[in-house]
A and B are shown apart, each in its own frame.
Chain A
């Protein structure tokens, strides 16, 4: 059962524009949500997170939004840069247990 879903396998945006990556989850017990970034031949690296008690967390060019009623979160990158091109994974956990990931979205930022 896929408890965390990323329905867009790929996204292409122009440099300087906004990238919006989406994620849906089914388990209402999840209380912590994360985004990871992955380059080829490397392990995923942590990007930004949000607790279920918040609806927005911002870190520089990256902002994560959480809509608990819709069980939906999104990652906004603005402005997008070519170096942001990577696979982005959404993850969710409950009490730091069983951290579940989505299938990933491949972001391509074109110069």
Chain B
């Protein structure tokens, strides 16, 4: 398996524009997580899905952020409108939720909002 795949690797956009980050989890995994890495909070959990259903989105900063998982092999994180303070590295991770096990991370998307 190619692992968790995120796209794009880098995104530079202007303030006010819509940004969509994409994630393909490892085949067979049934839980998916979106994280944002910041200096202050480290890896901050934004939202996670079990079996494509959002379970906890309390970490989503504002209504400008939304996430979907239309099927087991694809998820998106959308920011609309984007702001400079959204600039960060966003990670997607997946795991097979049957017993305690580790999550596997993608390489991340570095977002810069200017």
Q: What band does the interface of chain A fall in when counting residues whose beta carbon is under 8 Å from B?
A: 20 to 34
Q: Which residues of B contact A32 (CB under 8 A)?
A: 100
How many Cβ-Cβ contacts under 8 Å join chain A to chain B? 67
Q: Is the interface of B mostly helix, strand, loop or mixed?
A: strand
Q: Is B82 an interface residue (CB 8 A)?
A: no
Q: How far is the CA of A44 from the CA of B107 in the complex (A)?
A: 8
CB distance from A40 to the nearest CB of B (A): 10
CB <8 Å contact, B48 and A97: yes
CB <8 Å contact, B42 and A102: yes
Q: Is B114 an interface residue (CB 8 A)?
A: no
Which of B45, B91, B97, B106 sits near A96, CB closer than 8 Å?
B97
Q: Is B40 an interface residue (CB 8 A)?
A: yes
Which of B4, B41, B55 sits near A43, CB closer than 8 Å?
B4
